Structure 1
Amino acid sequence: MKKDHKKRTVFAPQSALDASAQEPANRVISVELAEDEDVQWIWMSLPEGTAYVSGYNIIKKKS
């Protein structure tokens, strides 16, 4: 019998961009995780001091 694995959607933190700045096309919006997974967000810092989530790592939750 196959076990039903539920997924959950986790949204990336809001970008720390200036209101006048356009958000990059390669930014991460959300990721789907299994119940035993968590996410570590990867931030990209720009020269003007703003930042956005540009990637992520999926890790297993610690027991």
Structure 2
Amino acid sequence: MYQAGPAIQTALAVVALSELPIDGQALQVRYQALPIHSRAELAITGGDLAKICSKSPDHCSAKS
């Protein structure tokens, strides 16, 4: 959802014009409640993860 960015406003306008039973207000509230709204706001990058995994692969393995 965070990847929608500014397009969320366009999507909400389409929802408002459609007859679909979608609560546009609830979608906007959920979007605003996200802890991040863009990739730039992430505290870590893919490069950071690669460095961590190359130092200690045990920390990067999938756990079930």
Q: Under TM normalisation by the shorter chain, which class is it?
A: under 0.3
TM-score (norm 1): 0.22
User: Higher strand fraction: Structure 1 or Structure 2?
Assistant: 1
Q: Which has the larger radius of gyration?
A: 2
* TM-score scaled by length of structure 2: 0.22
Structure in which a larger fraction of residues adopt helix = 2
